[in-house]
Structure 1
Amino acid sequence: MTITSAMPRAKERKTRTRTKRVSSLPVIKLSRLLPSHIDLRDPAHAVLVCEYCETWCPITGMQSKVQKLVPHHIGKADEADAIRCRGSNRKIEFDMTIPEWHQALTDAITEASSRQATTVLPKAFSPQTDQTLRARAQRTSAGRMADWNEALRTVADTDSSRRLMPAGDAPAEAPAVPQTSLRITR
């Protein structure tokens, strides 16, 4: 396909979103956020976690007077509707320096690693449990068959005693069981 002067051309677009709009929500102070929710390793491309949608959002205007979160949406791309997040265009106040943030992050990592258990100790067995487990481990298949045969004999004895009928038509301490059915007549 050849390009002619009659072909439409795409309009040049700005490389960044530049808007003077600012959110009416209170200013975000970096000292009030968790150090793990801020990334200032590359100050030109600083990012932080939006407290409304909990996604990492870049900070615009790092060389200008006003720094703020970029406008962003709540839903995931191609999955949800494009709904603007409340935290968009929210001002950010840099009340800590990059070395202070780095020290706070190091302290948080040290504290978190000290809380984590290094080894998991197994729960101790009671003496009865230990004895049962040792006895179970020492049993052989012949011993298990002998126990099973003994259980079968006990079951057979119980079944045969259940089949025996008592002498007489009623138990010794109860009234006699009626032999004819009762019918109500009107």
Structure 2
Amino acid sequence: MTASVCEREIETVSRQRKRRARSRTTSPLPPLAVSSLQPHEYDLDPACISLVCPSCRTWVPIRVARTERATAKLVPHHTEPAGTEDPVRCPGSHRLVTIDVTVARWSRRLEEGVAETNGRRSSRVMRKPKPTVAPAVMQIMASLLDATVTRRAYEAHTQGCSACTPSADTHCVDGARFAYLAAHTQRHEPARKAALAKWEKQAECYERSRWCERELGWTKTAGAVRRADVQRAHDALAAMLQSLSPKQADGPQLTDWERADLMSAITTLATRLDQLSR
């Protein structure tokens, strides 16, 4: 009798069971088929089977079915990082998952995608820019000199050189260079003058626009500047008048020279204040 009572007391004590998620809650969202996701958005490795939740775009483990009645679900998870106060439950929690892809097929799709990505390369041809030909020295000087200067330099060289004969069209090396430079500048003189006139006109328009901008800015701030100048002169004049007649009778008195200088400064400030107030 005593043994049966002891067994009954032992059986009534709750046993320690293995922790399992036994929640019957199901998300109202439609079941999620694994085949509708990209291969890189789910992992069918039995050690860590999981997928990317379409609602919050985070990796979530899948509670795999252990019996025939049970179904695969997404475990409950939050949309905020771990440790956040008052986290919000993701609507994709407890969502049913249909695993309609085998592990072999998933591995094969991953291998095909990696091979396709590794074999891909850009088909765009990056052509190197062709280097520009540097202008000759005569071409550089032609843009800096006008026809009159080059013609005078050519005439001065031919007069002092015995080997140069302009009538016979015979020149030395320097004479030939001066002749080419004079002809080149004479031919391009109209274009140079037109370009110079255009540049001067653009520079004049730019300076005029800058001047108008400065005048417009000064017009907007002229009133505030004038009021500030008047207030500054008024404060300085009030300070000088206060020092001229101190409040305490036994205070330090000004000498005749100091009083004369102070009266001159007061007169100058009064004149300036009258000019600013007009």
TM-score normalised by L of structure 1: 0.55
Bigger RCO of structures 1 and 2 (CA < 8 A, at least 6 apart): 1
3-state DSSP of counterpart to 2:47: helix
Q: Of 52, 67, 76, which aligns to 1:71?
A: 76
Cross-structure match for 1:47: 50
Q: Deviations over 1:80-121 (max 9, x none)?
A: 86211111111111112111111122223334444x325652
* Secondary structure of 2:66 counterpart: coil
1:23-48 C-alpha deviation (Å, 9 max, x unpaired): 1211111122111111123x132110
* Deviation string, structure 1 residues 54-93 (Cα, Å, up to 9, x no partner): 1111112353432111111112345686211111111111
**Structure 2 unmatched ranges of 5 or more:** 1-17, 147-191, 202-278
* Matching of residue 93 in structure 1 with residue 91 in structure 2: no
Amino acid at match of 1:38: Y
Structure 1 position 59 matched with structure 2 position 62 = yes
SS of residue matched to 1:134: coil
Letter in 2 for 1:31: S
In structure 1, stretches of 5+ residues that fail to align are 1-13, 163-186
Structure 2: how far apart are the matches of 1:23 and 1:124? 59
Using the TM superposition, give the Cα deviation of residue 15 of structure 1 relative to its aligned residue in structure 2, in angstroms.
6.1
Query: CA 1:18–1:145 in 2, change beyond 3 Å: closer, same or farther?
Result: farther
Aligned partner letter, 1:110? A
Count of residue pairs the alignment pairs up: 136
CA, structure 1 residues 80+50, in 2 after alignment: closer, same or farther (shift >3 Å)? farther
Q: What letter matches 2:132 in structure 1?
A: R
Q: Of 30, 36, 40, which residue of structure 1 is paired with 2:40?
A: 36
**Retained in 2: the 8 A contact 1:44–1:62?**
no
Higher helix share: 2
Residue in structure 1 matching 2:30, options 3, 26, 38 = 26
CA RMSD after TM alignment: 3.9
- Cα distance in 2 for residues equivalent to 1:47 and 1:148: 74
Preserved CA contact (<8 Å) 1:40 1:47: yes
TM (normalized to structure 2)? 0.39
Structure 1 contact 48–59 (Cα < 8 Å) conserved: yes
SS at match of 1:59: strand
Pick aligned residue for 1:117 from 117, 121, 128: 121
Other structure's SS at 1:99 match:
helix
* Partner residue, 1:134: 132
Matched residues, percent identical? 29
Structure-2 change in CA distance of 1:21 and 1:89 (3 Å): same
Matches of 1:62 and 1:143, distance apart in 2 = 89
Q: Partners of 1:120 and 1:33 in 2: how far apart?
A: 31
